[in-house]
Amino acid sequence: MVGQTWASAEQTQFLQSNLQEYLDINCGSKNYGDFWATLRKNWFQSYPEHEHLFPNKVQEELTDEECRIVGDAINKRMGVGLFFFCDLW
């Protein structure tokens, strides 16, 4: 049985839809800069971190402390994508 993942089924599908591009880069140039930038932009547009942490607030309503928490979560989340792709193969 596969263990629990941090991503929802929809988020997993989103990440898997980018897997072939990741593998192509991994087998080729290994220049991931544009790939990660685009993936992160699309991810956070689709799944805003503040909506996950503070589902009853719009971003403009967040306190300074809540903004710091969201920023920390974004930084942590940005590192997770690499582990997702490495775990798939």
Helix (H, G, I), strand (E, B) or coil at 24: helix
Q: What is the DSSP letter of 55?
A: T
Q: Which two tokens stand for residue 60?
A: 């403009």
pLDDT in tens, 10-59: 998 999 999 999 999 989 999 989 999 999 899 999 999 999 899 999 99
Domain ranges for the chain: 12-88
Q: Are 39 and 46 in contact (CB under 8 A)?
A: no
Q: Are 39 and 81 in contact (CB under 8 A)?
A: yes
The DSSP secondary structure of 60-87, one letter per residue, reads GG--HHHHHHHHHHHHHHHHHHHHHHHH
| Highest mean pLDDT: which range of 2-11, 66-75, 80-89 | 66-75
pTM: 0.76
Q: Are 78 and 40 in contact (CB under 8 A)?
A: yes
